[in-house]
Amino acid sequence: MTTTWPAPAATAPVRATVTVPGSKSITNRVLVLAALADGGSLVRGALVSRDTELMAAALRSLGVGVDLSTAVTPGPLRGDVDVDCGLAGTVMRFLPALAALADGDVRMDGDAHARTRPMSTVLGALRTLGVDVSGDALPFTVRGTGSVRGGEVELDASASSQFVSGLLLSGARYDRGLVVRHVGPPVPSRPHLDMTVAMLRAVGVDVDDTVPDVWRVSPGPVGAHEWDVEPDLSNATPFLAAAAVTGGTVTIPGWPSTTTQPGHAIRDVLVRMGCSVSLAGGALTVTGPTRLVGVELDLHDVGELTPTIAALCAVADGPSTLRGIAHLRGHETDRLAALVIELTALGCGARETADGLVVTPAPLTAPARAWSSYADHRMATAGAVLGLVVPGLQVDDVGTTAKTLPGFTSMWARMLA
């Protein structure tokens, strides 16, 4: 779906209960771990979206049995295959370390913009571990030999925590295990690293992360497991934002009381912006205020929430400063530049800083052109949030939301109904 979508405006405060499908981040980690396990793993609640289908298809080509609705059955990893990464960071950064364990060449490529995303860090780390890799960005080839000696590697993961997670997920299957040392500015999206470590431990892998910025994975088996995938809390944020910008109330069932998902942080952000937030009976409920409050936030660990939060800031009662998100310049698109362009087109004041954004609210008007999604699912959903309060706003390529949230426009319509 590449045509423009007329983002519906809210005619009253939004009041709805919205059920959100499973977490993309958890699902794709489950698939990798299950592919490396000693036996079959059961999977419940997995997300079925473009990113997870790409991961499943890649693993099937490597010899793994994958049914996203039920189970994953590992098999000998074979090479001489081509892998389509699409625009999925978890596929392009998690699979090279696993592909090194295959017997034969694994050729990886993806969408046009995926070829611009940073990859040299993880590929260079694999070379240090003795893996034959040609190329430093998509397209590249991992020449697997059926085993990896493992050992210690030093890298700078300040551009993405996925570089560390991708190595750790396969590290237990390396002959000597794996030690990853990060040297450089702080690693972003720390909750995703916590997620990776917790999931490795759940399948019996020995991981020592007691030394800051050092992760030690002991060699050994990866256990079969029964996985229950949590709802994707980051995908829930646009729906909660709908309550925030319209003064309405939205409830998300199945919200975990404890989680490693970065989306959990939206609770505190919404409270700081003036919303009422409650978690009871396994459901999160947000009620929006008469007027949102401008904020100063460090989003370094939860950068993926930035497009939604920036949309909220655009309708707040004063300026907001968002810091710690320079790494978003290397995501699906340069999210900082994209947000400045699109917010400015609506009449909002927006400018980049060295590591973030300053958003200064002003009366918003739909421009003659559509809000551009830049093939970025979170830019598309941010446009939908603003469309609630900017009549006539259109969003281009809203179908890009299928990357992590298929059926988004239908869910949005049901929420408004």
Annotated binding-site residue numbers for 3-phosphoshikimate: 24-25, 29, 160-162, 189, 304, 331
Contact 164, 215 (CB under 8 A): yes
> Which tokens is 367 given?
């421009």
Strands 349-353 and 356-360: antiparallel
Contact 90, 28 (CB under 8 A): yes
Closest CA to 328 of 307, 342, 312, 313: 307
Task: Render the burial of 333-342: b for 16+ CB within 10 Å, e for the rest.
Answer: bbbbebbbeb
DSSP 3-state of 122: helix
107 beta partners: 82, 141
Q: Does 304 participate in catalysis according to the annotation?
A: yes
> Which tokens is 346 given?
């609506």
Closest CA to 279 of 305, 263, 264, 257: 257
Binding site: what residues are annotated? 24-25, 29, 89, 117, 160-162, 189, 304, 331, 335, 378, 403
Query: Helix, strand, coil: what percent of the chain each, to 5?
Result: 35, 25, 40
Binding site for phosphoenolpyruvate: what residues are annotated? 24, 89, 117, 162, 335, 378, 403
Catalytic residue among 304, 332, 342, 352: 304
Residue 337: phi and psi, rounded to 5, are -65, -40
Active site residues: 304
